[in-house]
Amino acid sequence: MAQKEEKLVYERPHSLAPVVTNYCPGCTHGIVNRLVAEVIDELGIEGDTIGVSPVGCSVMMYNFYNCDFLEAAHGRAPAVATGVKRVHPDKVVFAYQGDGDLASIGMAETVHAATRGEKITIIFINNAIYGMTGGQMAPTSLPNQVTQTSPYGRDVTTAGYPVRVCELLSSLDGVAYLERVCVDSPKNIRNAKKALKKAFQTQIDGIGYSLVEVVSTCPTNWGMTPMDAFEWMRENMLPYYPLGVYRDVVAEGYANAAEAAAARAAACPIAMAENPQLDEIHASLPSKAKVEAAQAAVPGVNAPKEGGDR
């Protein structure tokens, strides 16, 4: 009798640790966490990746992945990621943040990491509510949206308007790639994964800052079933937060964010001026030998790639 050959079609990504998460049933964090892990696996960068988890529902992410991780203070993930990336410019550094973390308490860090063109990748979960603390109004809560702290609906006359993060960041010169996606269907999940992979690749290729915004749900605090939550998201959030690419300097014909920034500043004499002093510094620094020399001073960086037990 012929043995039927076993064919494995689906398994847990290696970079995702075999642990139970703290996410509520039906929450999109689980999907996005997995997509990020799949991307890390497919790019073969687990050993070179350092993650930064935020304060919020994904605060325990450092337990969910097998790569090195830092837990940041509320809103500070881009600053923490900046510190790591400046020490290890050849490593892949990503931060994963919710809307309160990224667009409220951490807005300054968000905007400035982007405008500095930090070569980091931000994954932004926008579900228009503070999940972990029990459903308060977020910077991205929609007008008239009822939350614990907007019990009569978000009153724009007193609470103002939601922040559209991709649109806001698209004006900044350090930004290389911005896309807003969602994960409510197999098709959109595949598209979200494509965007995440592109964001990581943008960093690896040194093109500039990258961010993927995932329009998400919070069934628990929205008080809906997961399927109803997706329906509400499609009806209300997507018109306010349209999906799509908000910046892609490569698609615009530039090699990187710096080239795109120079094109924007073409009429500004000082911005376009020759700067031999900076040229000299740049020439002396980013060479691979120099980076390796600097890292020799940071023990543990040049650990062997293969053969270890972990």
Partner 1 sequence: MAEKVLMKGNEAIAESAIRAGCRFFFGYPITPQTELAAYMAKRMPKEGGTYLQAESEVAAINMVYGASAAGARVMTSSSSPGVSLKSEGVSYIAGADLPCLIINIERGGPGLGSIQPSQSDYWQATRALGHGDFQMVVYAPSTVQEMADLAYGAFDIADKYRTPVMILGDGMLGQMMEPVELPERRTELPDKPWATTGHGNARPKNVANSLYLVAEELERTNFERYERYEQIKATEQMAELVDCEDADIIVVAFGASSRIARTAVRYAREEGIKVGLSGPSPCGRSLWTRSPQPASMQRPTCQSR
Q: Which residues contact partner 1 (rule: CB under 8 A)?
A: 46-50, 52, 59-60, 62, 65-73, 76, 79-88, 91-92, 108-109, 111-112, 281, 284-285, 290, 293-294, 297-301, 303-308, 310
Q: Is 253 left (phi over 0), alpha (psi -120 to 50) or beta?
A: left
CA-based nearest residue to 121, from 56, 209, 250: 209
Residues 28-64: b if buried by 16+ CB within 10 A, e if exposed: bbebbbbbbbbbbbebebbbbbbbbbbbbbbbebbeb
Q: How near is the Cβ of 224 to partner 1 at its closest, in Å?
A: 27
Q: How near is the Cβ of 83 to partner 1 at its closest, in Å?
A: 2
Q: How near is the Cβ of 81 to partner 1 at its closest, in Å?
A: 6
Q: How near is the Cβ of 41 to partner 1 at its closest, in Å?
A: 12
Nearer to partner 1, 36 or 192 (CB): 36
Q: How near is the Cβ of 292 to partner 1 at its closest, in Å?
A: 11
Q: Which tokens belong to 135?
A: 């459903």
CA-based nearest residue to 123, from 61, 66, 63: 61
DSSP string, 46-99: GGGEEEEE-SSTTTTHHHHBSSEEEEPPTT-HHHHHHHHHHH-TTSEEEEEEEH
Nearer to partner 1, 85 or 247 (CB): 85
